[in-house]
Amino acid sequence: MTVPRPTSTPAGPPRERGPAWERPGARPTARDERFEALLAWYFVIVWGSGYLASKTGLQYAAPFTFLTLRFTFGVVCVVPWLLLSPPRWPADRRELFHIGVAGLLMHAVNLGGSHYAQYLGMSAGITALMLSTQPLLTAVFAQRYLRQRLAPAQWLGVLLGLAGVALVVWHKIDVRAVSGASLLAVGISLVAITSGTLYQRVFCARADLRSAALIQFALCVLVLAPLAVGVEGFRVTWNWQLFAAIAFLVVFASILAVNALHALMRRGHATKVTSLLFLTPIVAVALEWLLFGVVPSGLSLVGIAITCLGVAMVAGRRAG
């Protein structure tokens, strides 16, 4: 007697994981859009707060020394996270190389340049103004290399955002504190954060952000530590303010906010996402008002309104 074999239904395609907007060709659901908005506001608030935290930390350690401490603490924070939740590691040397390049550009070169510009005497206003041109630079690169075209209204929004930021930080601009070296440092920072963000999106789109964070932090320590010792003598004034600034910048900015930025970049248009950076000086102004009683001028309030209008114009229309 022959026993018939049980018939088996053909297995369907493997169930895709993750939010819908991370799957190719999928449209985001209302829940995904709410989560995206939450990520965007988190990034803006934390990135804007980072201006004050960095200013505090640089009072007690020179730029390369401060960043060496920051990324060393970052490694210490990430290792237990990875032990509890094992990530996917780079599949080959090529992927490892791309992760390393993106990390050096976004962390070591970008922050090293902006911090060193302030260390050389450049005012926070000029630093913020120059770095706020990133969305404009990103729009140019994205149109040229990523084939992401902006509508005329979006280009106008980018320019309005830049003009608004200029008005917000105008009261802090001191051209007497500008030197050739500080301009070079902040220019390097601008190119690094723009190219690093786009590089990570293009070449590290499938990288696990957890393992990437450990690799990038460790590589930044290896690059910055010799500069901290050789150039600055690794001089540090140890106190709780320094520890608080480092802890905030590592946990909330370098880990959570940067990962939020990468998640948004994977989801949306590059210029739309980076236009959020126009809002970070506004957060810094608001925090100065709440924490230190520095009342924004009428010009700053006008700049805030113009900046918000510019960001809405960039984000409100679908690019080609």
Q: Which residue has the higher pLDDT, 97 or 288?
A: 97
Q: How far apart are CA 173 and CA 168, in angstroms?
A: 10
Q: How confident is the model at residue 16 (pLDDT cuts 50, 70, 90)?
A: very low
Q: pLDDT by residue (tens digit) across 158-181? A: 888 888 888 877 776 776 667 888
Q: Nearest to residue 283, comparing CAs of 156, 165, 160, 107?
A: 165
Higher pLDDT, 270 or 304: 304
pTM to 2 decimals?
0.76
131-151 average pLDDT score: 72
Whether 68 shows a pLDDT value over 80: the answer reads yes
CA distance 135 to 131: 9
pLDDT, position 235: 93
Model confidence band, residue 272 (pLDDT cutoffs 50, 70, 90): low
* Alpha-carbon gap, residue 300 to 285, rounded angstroms: 9
The domain segmentation of the chain, as residue ranges, is: 31-316
Determine the average pLDDT of the residues in 222-243: 95
pLDDT tens digit string along 101-123? Answer: 999 999 999 999 999 988 888 77
Say which residue, 48 or 267, is predicted with more confidence: 48
